[in-house]
Chain A
Amino acid sequence: MYICNMSNSKLYKGSLNTIILKLLNEHDKMYGYEITQKVKVLTKGELNITEGALYPALHKLEAEGLLDVELAKVDNRLRKYYKLTETGTKETISKLNELAEYIKTMQKLVNPKLV
């Protein structure tokens, strides 16, 4: 039930927070449903963030002070938007660097000729 359609979902579990932070870094503010759809579009349906995983992750990031929340009335309902706080922006950079390093290391292991 985690975040993926691909064959090995375990590989992506640890990246959920980074994905959310990265998306929010590129957009001023986003709401839950929008995040799931954006990931689907960007990965051409390869990665599917499930609702049961997304909201706990968003709430955790909010509690850690990385996300700020804004409520707005859209159509006939309330919508909760998330945006990065200053700490969240710093954390995004650090998480992305961490991920890039990890990918580089994995590349060395999996495909040493390319590195």
Chain B
Amino acid sequence: MKLTNSQIQELYTFTQKHYVEWFDVQTELVDHLANGIEAQWQENQKISFDDALKAEFKKFGIMGFSNVIEEKTKALNSYYRNLVWTYFKDFFKLPKIILTLLSTWLFFEILQLTPNKNWIVIPAFTILFIVPTVFFINVAKRIRKTEYVTNKKWLFESINLQLGGLIHILSIPLYTGVFFESIDKWPILFQVICSIVIVLLGMLIYISIFIVSPKLRIQMAKQHPDYKFV
């Protein structure tokens, strides 16, 4: 005996009621529950759908699906960060290292030539704050639109929104404005450190937003037939 379409839909609702709101996670759980229920029916056709479902859900333990969601989120975050790290390392190998060194040196030179360093540093950090913010707003809009049009939410989009947890590091520029305004003296070493930090943050933002996030979306679109770019 096989599950009907409406029973499959019931399973989606069931996972949703048990706090699995992500379609990419629900799909796997629904198939698992369906397989389990059908296996029970092979042995005893008299078991009701609800009882069979209860028995299958019990197998996930007292934590239900929460452990699966938690670990899936952790795994996706770490996948995202590993991808960023892989591209980041590329900027310290030939030929890209030339670009890294050149940008750092160029920024340092501009700092040296400018009498008031804040004219350079504060706008630089502002740009480094604005770019992720614009990205964040766009992704949030896309998530809302996707949910409105398809009635589906995707866990990987939520990972994208938080840049795999890197969003916390990228919020550094937010706090720097006040700090730099209070500084009068700019020793050479401080200027060097400042140039390095700005270039590294810029690289991190560029890699996350313009390389890894689009790559993740393409991968998801290939993997999941239901995922469509809105």
Contacts and interface: CB of A to CB of B under 8 A. Distances in A.
Per DSSP, chain B at the interface is: helix
Interface of A: 1, 31-34, 37, 50-52, 55-56, 59-60, 62-65, 69-71, 73-80
B75 A63 contact: yes
B3 A56 contact: no
B72 interface: yes
Contacts of A75: 2-3
Q: Which of A60, A63, A70 has the most CB of B within 10 A?
A: A63
A63 B79 contact: yes
Interface string B29-64: 111101110010000000000000000000111110
Nearest to B34: A77
A50 B59 contact: yes
B171 interface: no
Contacts of B4: 76
B203 to A, nearest CB: 22
Interface of B: 2-5, 8, 27-32, 34-36, 39, 59-63, 67-68, 70-72, 74-76, 78-79, 82, 223-226
Given A55-B68, A56-B71, A56-B72, A78 B79 contact: no
Contacts of B59: 50-52
Nearest to B225: A71
B5 A76 contact: yes
Contacts of A32: 28, 31-32
B32 A33 contact: yes
B87 to A, nearest CB: 14
Contact of A80 (B2, B27, B39, B63): B27
B31 A33 contact: yes
A92 B206 CA distance: 35
A99 B187 CA distance: 57
Contacts of A33: 31-32, 35-36
Contact of A71 (B29, B34, B63, B223): B223
Contacts of B34: 77
Contact of B72 (A37, A55, A71, A79): A55
A75 B5 CA distance: 10
Contacts of A64: 79
A76 B4 CA distance: 8
Contacts of A37: 39
